[in-house]
Amino acid sequence: MTLDIAQNLSKVKNAIRAAAEAAGRPADAVRLVAVSKTHPPETITPAIDAGQRLFGENRVQEAEAKWPKLKEANPDCRLHLIGPLQSNKAAIAVQLFDAIETVDRPKLAKALARHMEQTGLRPDCLIQVNTGEEPQKAGVSPADADKFIAACRDEYGLPLIGLMCIPPANEEPSMHFALLCEIAQRNGLAELSMGMSADYEIAAAFGATLVRVGTAIFGAREDYGHSSE
Ligand SMILES: *Cc1c(COP(=O)(O)O)cnc(C)c1O
């Protein structure tokens, strides 16, 4: 079976629009982040050719290997970091990404702020919230979110635009989406990055402005050596 990336993309985009509209939201309220992690440029290019411009990668090194060339050929592509970021890679992340969705601790926020100041580059920042309070998962806990949001804005001066979450794998995601939405609203944050291949329609109904979809567009991954988040 050959993979029809253009067809998958259009299916996902239609489903997003339908889910948003069914929930009483504008059909264009939700943007699609096509998650291209583990896939080679030959797989990503058909998505670009089909009109997709917004992509997500979860590893700095992998993005560094693939995207400078892709962006050179397609300067209007935008790249989001959706995986954990080590402070010692903050400098390269600031150069490489148009948005960093996984800001989750003061040390990282400080490092990002410092490199933004040094370079003049200011990628959008989202704070990852560990809505399920899973010990193995990255993200600030819901109880600490307000304080961390305030620190990112006031203390570190980050260009903060929203929040991101990855709900626990075996739980109903909607309560996590609703919780993220509530934290964003009370903090005046507009962007909500939530929903993956299995639950992006639910996320679209619950207020997502960004959904991160990989498998439903690019097919199954060889995830060997990759963490799942
Ligand atoms: C891999 C990944 C996705 C996409 O997952 P799919 O199930 O393939 O759609 C979304 N968000 C994050 C943070 C990811 O690491």
Atom of ligand 1 nearest to the CA of 227: 15
The confidence score (pLDDT) of residue 222 equals: 78
- CB-ligand 1 contact for 138 (6 Å cutoff): no
Q: Whose CA is nearest to atom 11 of ligand 1?
A: 212
Dmax (CA) for the chain in angstroms is: 52
DSSP secondary structure string for all residues of 74-128: -TT-EEEE-S---GGGHHHHHHH-SEEEEE-SHHHHHHHHHHHHHH----EEEEE
Q: Give the integer Cα–Cα distance in Å for 185 and 195.
A: 18
Task: Calculate the dihedral angle through the C-alpha atoms of 58, 59, 65, 69, rounding to the nearest 10 degrees.
Answer: 30
* 181 within ligand 1 shell (Cβ under 6 A): no
**Which atom of ligand 1 is the closest one to the Cα of 196?**
9
**Integer Cα distance of 39 and 225 in angstroms:** 13
User: Would you state the pLDDT for residue 223?
Assistant: 60
The dotted CATH code for 2-220 is 3.20.20.10
Q: Is ligand 1 within 6 A of the CB of residue 212?
A: yes
Q: Which of 5, 8, 58 has the most ligand 1 atoms within 8 A of CB, as the residue to mutate?
A: 58
- Whether the pTM exceeds 0.85: the reply is yes
Walk along the chain (229 residues) and give the pLDDT tens digit of each residue.
Answer: 457 999 999 999 999 999 999 999 999 999 999 999 999 999 999 999 999 999 999 999 999 999 999 999 999 999 999 999 999 999 999 999 999 999 999 999 999 999 999 999 999 999 999 999 999 999 999 999 999 999 999 999 999 999 999 999 999 999 999 999 999 999 999 999 999 999 999 999 999 999 999 999 999 987 644 444 4
Q: Determine the distance separating the centroid of ligand 1 and the alpha carbon of 49, expressed in angstroms.
A: 22
DSSP 155-210: IS---EEEEE----TTS-THHHHHHHHHHHHHTT--EEE---TTTHHHHHHTT-SE
Q: Please, are residues 90 and 108 in contact by the beta-carbon 8 Å criterion?
A: yes
The tokens for 87 are 């402070």
Question: Where do the domains of the chain lie?
Answer: 2-220
Strand 160-164 relative to strand 191-193: parallel, antiparallel, unpaired?
parallel
What residues form DSSP beta bridges with 213? Answer: 34
Alpha-carbon gap, residue 155 to 149, rounded angstroms = 10
Provide the b/e sequence for 112-148 (b: ≥16 CB within 10 Å).
bbebbeeeeeebbbbbbbbbbeeeebbbbebeebeeb
User: Does residue 82's CB lie within 6 angstroms of at least one atom of ligand 1?
Assistant: yes
